[in-house]
Amino acid sequence: MAPKAGKAKPKAKGDKKKKEEKVLPTVLDVTVEAPDYTHLTLKGISTDRILDVRKLLAVHVDTCHITSFSLSHEVRGPQLKDTVEIASLKPCHLSIVEEKYTEELAVAHVRRLLDVVACTTAFGVKKPEQKPAPATDAAAEAAKPGSPGAVVAGGGGGGEEPMYPPPKLGEFYDFFSFSHLSPPIQYIRRSTRPFVDDKREEDFFQIDVRVCNGKPVTIVASRAGFYPSGKRALINHSLVGLLQQTNRGFEAAYKALMKAFVEHNKFGNLPYGFRSNTWVVPPVVADSPSVFPPLPTEDETWGGNGGGLGRDGKHDHRPWVKEFAILAAMPCKTAEERQVRDRKAFLLHSLFVDVGVLKAIAAIQNLIPDDKSSHEKTNGTASSVPHTQQIGDMKITITKDKADASSKSDVKLDGSQAPGVSFDELAKRNLLKGITADESATVHDTATLGVVVVKHCGYTAVVQVPLDAQLTTVVPAQQDIHIEDQPEGGSNALNVNR
């Protein structure tokens, strides 16, 4: 007799579709051959890319001074792209290949060296640790339990003393200061001296370098590297290598600094790349507030800046309206789709903030001289008419703040009122956004996402991308947002709090 259909044991639904187990990253050893044929072992993880290897080399004491190089692999070939995953490299052995300089890269190389050694001079003298003074006989007598001056610990509502003293804001830079060491370099300046030999096409500029114990020496920066003026045979790809080769005092001071770096933090994170910000500055600024020496990363003399994109003008006429509409229409039903969309949103909005802040400040600075001249013509009555400027899709509206700081502004400029909607419409929009929200509801709110408010020098600038209703039906399959990667993975991002 055939078995009954109901007797068969039903299979569990979970057996049909097994959940994919997430593979956790594993630690990988990456062997890198330096230009001097020494081998370095870097600790990475299986999800790292070539870009991450370059970052590890930038914080390694043996390679932190090297710039303008590429990485090669015996199987994958030379000039590996930053997106190549190191887990796909078999064997995981890379070689540093020195590349030719351009003038911009040669300036960046000098800036890197100044940045590495800045911790010996930029943060002032490190304060010595204060040791508690030994107690006198009278104080020891008063501290006895039977003495009249004795105080019971914890009595009177007081708590016990902390094991470590609380950190102080004034000691922020003490952790990064290496002022107890001899600075390997006293200064590096652009030289105005004429070339000893005839300047060749591959020569860029000359610099005057004064090391810790030597006289100033003039060095030529060229396409192949650096060499002392008039001694092309001593050319070296790195400035550190050249100075170590020609000056023993610099070699000893630089080795002492690298040794101190390792003792300070054996896991890397070298103290360089500092930028000024709004909440704490180096102690040297307090000594002379009128003189605020720029840190090497931001020193425009050596190609530094505050970071971010938009300084070259490439994004002035970017189709912001279209790209924000594409962003709002991207699929977001699954976690994978939302991850792709949110990454695009982060990159696009960061780029918009970079460009918007720079353009707003430039517009305000151009307006200040005109406003002063009009202020004088009108016998001291400043005009309150807003100034508007259009740069591509971006509309910049500038208004002058009230001179009386005690009077409150009638309009609160927090970005919500910048699109020009009423309070009722704003409440309805926020309510609808909350009801239909997914993990990132802000992406769909183009009217708020496309607004940047900048207050600078007594002016308020509102940078706005208008909302185009005709572009809300853009199909993302036909359109995409292309944003180039920032240098060094965005490590020099714009500090928007400035």
For 206-227, write each residue's pLDDT tens digit: 999 999 987 889 999 999 999 9
Owning domain of residue 401: 320-490
Of 227, 262, 285, at which residue does a domain stop? 285
Judge if 183 and 241 occupy the same domain. Answer: yes
Model pLDDT, residue 16:
47
Judge if 279 and 196 occupy the same domain. Answer: yes
- Name 352's Cβ contacts closer than 8 Å, sequence gap at least 6: 320, 450, 452, 465
User: Among the residues of 118-274, which ranges form H helices?
Assistant: 137-142, 239-246, 248-264
Instruction: Return the higher-pLDDT residue of 115 and 406.
Output: 115
Q: Single out the residue of 225, 214, 218 nearest to residue 190, CA to CA.
A: 218
Judge if 255 and 116 occupy the same domain. Answer: yes
Task: Give the angle subtended at the CA of 412 by the CAs of 407 and 416, to the nearest 5°.
Answer: 175
- Cross-strand pairs, 221: 205, 226
Q: What is the mean pLDDT of residues 188-196?
A: 90
Average model confidence (pLDDT) across the chain? 79
Q: What is the mean pLDDT of residues 184-192?
A: 93
Residues, the chain, total?
A: 498
pLDDT at 440 over 70: no
In a domain, 480, yes or no: yes
Per the CB < 8 A criterion, the answer to whether 84 and 49 are in contact is yes
Q: Report how many domains make up the chain.
A: 3
Question: CATH code at 218?
Answer: 3.30.2280
Amino acid at 411: V
Instruction: Return the higher-pLDDT residue of 84 and 291.
Output: 84
Per the CB < 8 A criterion, the answer to whether 301 and 278 are in contact is no
Judge if 109 and 92 occupy the same domain. Answer: no
In a domain, 69, yes or no: yes
pLDDT at 148 over 50: no
Model pLDDT, residue 142:
44
- Tokens describing residue 399: 């208004």
- Cross-strand pairs, 469: none
pLDDT band, residue 149 (cuts 50/70/90):
very low
- Percent of the chain scored above 90 by pLDDT? 41
Judge if 91 and 204 occupy the same domain. Answer: no
Model pLDDT, residue 140:
45
Judge if 85 and 118 occupy the same domain. Answer: no
pLDDT at 110 over 70: yes
Over its C-alpha atoms, the chain yields an Rg (Å, rounded) of 30
pLDDT at 155 over 50: no
Instruction: Return the higher-pLDDT residue of 138 and 20.
Output: 20
What is the Cα–Cα distance from 41 to 43, expressed in whole angstroms?
7
Judge if 472 and 326 occupy the same domain. Answer: yes
pLDDT band, residue 171 (cuts 50/70/90):
confident
What is the Cα–Cα distance from 285 to 238, expressed in whole angstroms?
32
pLDDT at 20 over 70: no
In a domain, 144, yes or no: no
In a domain, 291, yes or no: no
Instruction: Return the higher-pLDDT residue of 343 and 425.
Output: 343
pLDDT at 76 over 90: yes
Q: What is the mean pLDDT of residues 47-51?
A: 93
pLDDT band, residue 419 (cuts 50/70/90):
low
pLDDT at 412 over 80: no
Q: What is the mean pLDDT of residues 102-128?
A: 88
In a domain, 168, yes or no: no
pLDDT band, residue 136 (cuts 50/70/90):
very low
**Side-chain-side CA neighbours of residue 321 (13 Å):** 16
pLDDT at 253 over 50: yes
What is the Cα–Cα distance from 42 to 71, expressed in whole angstroms?
14
pLDDT band, residue 204 (cuts 50/70/90):
very high
In a domain, 495, yes or no: no
Judge if 279 and 326 occupy the same domain. Answer: no
In a domain, 457, yes or no: yes
pLDDT band, residue 448 (cuts 50/70/90):
confident
Judge if 90 and 114 occupy the same domain. Answer: no
Instruction: Return the higher-pLDDT residue of 99 and 312.
Output: 99
Judge if 51 and 110 occupy the same domain. Answer: no
Judge if 186 and 75 occupy the same domain. Answer: no
In a domain, 467, yes or no: yes
- Percent of the chain scored above 70 by pLDDT? 71
Judge if 339 and 485 occupy the same domain. Answer: yes
pLDDT at 161 over 50: yes
- Name 28's Cβ contacts closer than 8 Å, sequence gap at least 6: 43, 44, 45, 46, 48, 86, 87, 92
Of 99, 132, 161, at which residue does a domain stop? 99
pLDDT at 305 over 50: yes
Could you tell me the pTM of the whole model? 0.75
pLDDT at 139 over 50: no
